[in-house]
Amino acid sequence: MMDAQTLQERIAQVESKRALLLQFQADPTLGTLSIDVEQALIEMDDLMAEFRQTFPTGLVSPISID
Protein backbone atom coordinates (compact mmCIF):
# COMPACT_ATOMS: atom_id res chain seq x y z
CA MET A 1 0.00 0.00 0.00
CA MET A 2 1.24 3.47 -0.87
CA ASP A 3 1.15 6.26 1.71
CA ALA A 4 -0.33 9.67 0.95
CA GLN A 5 3.04 11.43 0.70
CA THR A 6 4.39 8.94 -1.86
CA LEU A 7 1.22 9.20 -3.94
CA GLN A 8 1.39 13.01 -3.92
CA GLU A 9 5.03 12.88 -5.04
CA ARG A 10 4.21 10.52 -7.89
CA ILE A 11 1.29 12.66 -9.04
CA ALA A 12 3.58 15.71 -9.02
CA GLN A 13 6.10 13.80 -11.16
CA VAL A 14 3.40 12.91 -13.69
CA GLU A 15 2.20 16.51 -13.83
CA SER A 16 5.75 17.76 -14.38
CA LYS A 17 6.14 15.51 -17.45
CA ARG A 18 3.22 17.22 -19.19
CA ALA A 19 5.34 20.28 -20.00
CA LEU A 20 7.87 18.07 -21.73
CA LEU A 21 5.15 16.46 -23.83
CA LEU A 22 3.91 19.92 -24.83
CA GLN A 23 7.42 20.75 -26.04
CA PHE A 24 7.48 17.56 -28.10
CA GLN A 25 4.04 18.35 -29.50
CA ALA A 26 5.36 21.66 -30.84
CA ASP A 27 8.29 19.96 -32.61
CA PRO A 28 7.54 19.84 -36.36
CA THR A 29 10.17 17.14 -36.95
CA LEU A 30 8.34 14.41 -35.00
CA GLY A 31 6.38 13.13 -37.96
CA THR A 32 4.09 10.24 -37.04
CA LEU A 33 5.39 10.24 -33.45
CA SER A 34 3.28 13.34 -32.92
CA ILE A 35 0.25 11.02 -32.81
CA ASP A 36 1.79 9.18 -29.84
CA VAL A 37 2.59 12.45 -28.08
CA GLU A 38 -0.99 13.65 -28.59
CA GLN A 39 -2.34 10.36 -27.22
CA ALA A 40 -0.03 10.57 -24.19
CA LEU A 41 -1.29 14.09 -23.44
CA ILE A 42 -4.91 12.95 -23.69
CA GLU A 43 -4.32 10.00 -21.39
CA MET A 44 -2.36 12.12 -18.91
CA ASP A 45 -5.14 14.72 -18.80
CA ASP A 46 -7.71 11.95 -18.25
CA LEU A 47 -5.62 10.47 -15.45
CA MET A 48 -5.25 13.82 -13.71
CA ALA A 49 -8.98 14.54 -14.08
CA GLU A 50 -9.81 11.20 -12.48
CA PHE A 51 -7.35 11.91 -9.66
CA ARG A 52 -8.95 15.31 -8.98
CA GLN A 53 -12.41 13.75 -9.08
CA THR A 54 -11.38 11.03 -6.63
CA PHE A 55 -9.50 13.42 -4.32
CA PRO A 56 -11.22 16.80 -4.88
CA THR A 57 -9.52 18.46 -1.91
CA GLY A 58 -6.23 16.65 -2.28
CA LEU A 59 -5.03 13.75 -0.25
CA VAL A 60 -5.68 13.59 3.43
CA SER A 61 -3.15 12.31 5.90
CA PRO A 62 -4.00 9.07 7.64
CA ILE A 63 -5.52 9.45 11.10
CA SER A 64 -3.25 8.37 13.90
CA ILE A 65 -4.92 6.71 16.87
CA ASP A 66 -2.80 6.86 20.02
Confirm whether 28 is domain-assigned.
yes
Which residues lie below 8 Å from residue 62, measured CB to CB, with a gap of 6+?
3, 4
Confirm whether 58 is domain-assigned.
no
Q: Which domain holds residue 20?
A: 16-53
Confirm whether 61 is domain-assigned.
no
- Residue 66, pLDDT score: 47
Taking 90 as the threshold, does the pLDDT of residue 4 lie above it? Answer: no
Task: Give pLDDT tens digits for 10-62.
Answer: 888 888 889 899 999 999 999 999 999 999 999 999 988 888 888 777 665 55
Whole-angstrom distance, CA of residue 44 vs CA of residue 13:
12
- Residue 63, pLDDT score: 45
Q: How confident is the model at residue 8 (pLDDT cuts 50, 70, 90)?
A: confident
